Structure 1
């Protein structure tokens, strides 16, 4: 007569552990701080007028002026991108028919800088342009920053340390790693939305025409990096 075994297979422990092969699952976390590597500002250029073509020409000119100013900082600017463009009519509230009262044009630019010394000067020079708004800065780390790897490594080591502490409390030791899951990291993702979270809106007063705007003193904001892992281990059977 042949019987089918019902206990654990010889290929490995069960997902929930057994008295002979105890299983423990722990969480490892790491919290680090680091200086930012990037600063991003958003520039909104506007134009308005009663004539559609004139408004569009004004918007094109002002957009080019802002772009040329950003690009004049050379290597201090790591990246510049155009976000949105719009040209919309505003209709008169009173009167017959659809009579256009004025046209509103707008473009948005995003500039990413690595030289924080140039950041304050560029921000104020942009804000000194007509019908131009500057929002920011948004501080961040690069996606490839070694700080992220450092945080993940510390999270794994913390998980191993916790597992050993629990095993020691039971009078035994960790046998083997079963599973390691990256349950949460903080990669400082940046997405280009119309109203991104994390912007610090700065209001700049336009200086007189014969006086250049003073450079704004911007202090970099320390970045908080977090990594979290979940790890499952087997233990040598303790004597309880």
Structure 2
């Protein structure tokens, strides 16, 4: 068995699927002459923004504050201590999983005072079934390719020696290499009553998911080659 021929192949799968979530960030700002007043305005606007996002319930899966800063603005760049105003900023990050409300939510956020919306960044869940499906298809392709090579030589596949993510079996120095990550692409921009901005029409960007494997199979001895 140790002298059995070995066929080494690569299997790859490329899937194009709809995104499962949209990640966005919001910067809420204030700018006042007095530091305390800047903080108070920032707290009010931040709370208004959070309340709006939370009002969408389960459509928003994740909500977190990414950072906060209060920065003095100088009148003259070369003269320390001459402060003309204080600027406050809060960075909020959240994930929307119901795209039916996304355009409305983004438009309403953008309509808030001193609020800046960035996104959406379309994506898939980390544990998405799409990644597993791509991996299975890549493995199936490796098997089919090995069988095709064996048939071309008048042989048949007899067993599996090794199956791994592409790059995991070895690196340029012969050591175990880091596995190649499965990848997905992105995309990108935002409801409405008489007093609110109209929803922005957002088209989800197609996600491209790739998976690749390396496999080695044992085979029967090939037929004589003429």
TM (normalized to structure 2)? 0.85
CA distance in 1, matches of 2:78, 2:155: 87
Match of 1:224 in 2: 208
Give the superposition deviation at 1:199: 6.5
Instruction: State the SS of the aligned residue for 1:68.
Output: helix
Q: Could you list the per-position Cα deviations for residues 105-163 of structure 1 after superposition, in whole angstroms to 9, with x for gaps in the alignment?
A: 11111121111111100000000001101111111122222221111100000001111
**Equivalent position to 2:93, from 82, 87, 110:** 110
Cα gap change, 1:95 to 1:76, in 2 (>3 Å): closer
- Aligned mates of 2:43, 2:119 — CA distance in 1: 23
Give 1:80's aligned residue: 63
Q: Which residue is equivalent to 1:147?
A: 130
Q: Secondary structure at the match of 1:98?
A: coil
TM-score (norm 1): 0.80
Residue 155 of structure 2: which of 165, 172, 176 is its match?
172
**8 Å contact kept, 1:143–1:188:** no
Measured in 1, the distance between the counterparts of 2:88 and 2:135 equals 46
The Cα of 1:78 is off from its aligned counterpart by: 1.2
Report how many aligned residue pairs link the two structures.
208
Alignment match, 2:107: 124
Structure 2 Cα separation of the partners of residues 22 and 145 of structure 1? 37
Q: Secondary structure at the match of 1:143?
A: coil
